[in-house]
């Protein structure tokens, strides 16, 4: 009986030590129909960050069910404007420091160690983190896709996004530092999903132009489309990624063309963008 008590006490000590390994950090994840990806993301931060917040955009699959295995802070909110949606998600976090993840991203062990060190100091208001981007199993290393650092770690009171439909700018009240370790981003399982993203994002880009009162003509669109291809393929050396590098540069051009066509269509049809 005495030996059992000693063993139980030892186990409690081990559990307490594991709990103390958690750092005062809120991981905020935005999700929609991500049952295929989100568990890997959650596992990468579970038992490391002391809070996980998931904001789900009305998923029709098992996304929320999976998330509730790892956190009780799962909120449902329909995406309206990307910047506004993300800012609302961050407002649900309790900690001073926030790590923002997408549902198809995970944190490396090296990054965990780096983050645990830097959040002890208030020298910086935010940090950019390199993203290791994949199409399927292929790690895209050129064309500006790596390290492709983005601001993902920040003090909640000193950061917000511009409230626009797509590609919102980060607004930081203070200095921004730069971390060296990666977030793994399994962004596109294949080219079909990549093309679908180009289609969706170009629609939002057109709406953004309309709401901002920006004016675009055909000549400017052609210039932007051609410039984007050669900038991506030659200057940023996308050709070194072979087939995927060409597709990335071509889709960059296609994005500009589709955005312009949709922009003209919205003007012609007098559609309400609803922002």
Give residue 77's pLDDT: 98
CB atoms within 10 A of CB 96: 15
pLDDT for res 167? 85
Give CA–CA dist 181/159, Å, rounded.
21
Q: Name the pairing type of β-strands 126-129 and 105-107.
A: unpaired
Give me the sheet containing 150-155, strands edge to edge.
Answer: 74-76, 49-56, 23-31, 97-102, 150-155, 126-129, 176-178
The secondary structure of residue 190, as a DSSP letter, is: S
Q: Note the pLDDT of residue 17.
A: 43
129 and 117 within one domain = yes
Q: Check residue 6 and give its pLDDT.
A: 52
Residues 26 and 139 in one domain: yes
Residue 251 structural domain: 191-269
Q: Residue 82: inside a domain, yes or no? A: yes
Are residues 181 and 199 located together in one domain of the fold? no
Residue 274 lies in a domain: no
Comparing CA positions, the residue from 24, 146, 195 lying closest to residue 93 is 24
Question: How many domains does the chain divide into?
Answer: 2
The string of pLDDT tens digits covering residues 228-263 is 999 999 999 999 999 999 999 999 999 999 999 999
Residues of the chain with pLDDT under 70: 1-20, 271-275
Tell me how far the alpha carbon of residue 175 is from its chain's centroid: 21
> Do 175 and 205 share a domain, yes or no?
no
Residues 206 and 247 both lie in one domain: yes
pLDDT of residue 187: 87
């Amino acid at each position: 009986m005495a030996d059992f008590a000693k063993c139980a006490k030892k186990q409690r000590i081990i559990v307490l030590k594991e709990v103390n390994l958690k750092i005062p950090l809120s991981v905020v994840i935005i999700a929609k129909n991500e049952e295929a990806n989100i568990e890997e993301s959650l596992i990468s931060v579970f038992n490391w960050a002391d809070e996980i917040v998931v904001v789900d955009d009305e998923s029709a699959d098992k996304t929320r069910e999976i998330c509730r295995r790892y956190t009780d802070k799962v909120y449902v909110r329909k995406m309206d404007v990307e910047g506004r949606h993300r800012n609302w998600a961050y407002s649900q976090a309790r900690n001073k420091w926030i790590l923002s993840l997408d549902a198809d991203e995970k944190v490396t062990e090296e990054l965990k160690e780096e983050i645990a060190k830097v959040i002890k100091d208030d020298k910086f208001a935010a940090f950019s983190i390199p993203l290791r981007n994949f199409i399927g199993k292929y790690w895209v290393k050129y064309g500006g896709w790596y390290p492709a650092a983005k601001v993902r770690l920040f003090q909640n009171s000193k950061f917000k996004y511009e409230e626009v439909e797509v590609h919102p700018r980060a607004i930081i009240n203070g200095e921004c530092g730069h971390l060296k370790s990666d977030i793994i981003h399994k962004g596109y399982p294949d080219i079909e999903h990549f093309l679908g993203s180009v289609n969706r994002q170009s629609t939002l880009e057109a709406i953004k132009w309309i709401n901002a009162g920006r004016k675009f003509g055909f000549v400017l669109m052609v210039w932007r489309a051609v410039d984007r291809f050669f900038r991506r393929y030659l200057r940023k050396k996308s050709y070194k990624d072979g087939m995927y590098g060409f597709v990335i540069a071509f889709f960059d051009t296609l994005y500009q063309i589709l955005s312009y066509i949709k922009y003209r269509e919205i003007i012609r049809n007098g559609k309400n963008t609803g922002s």
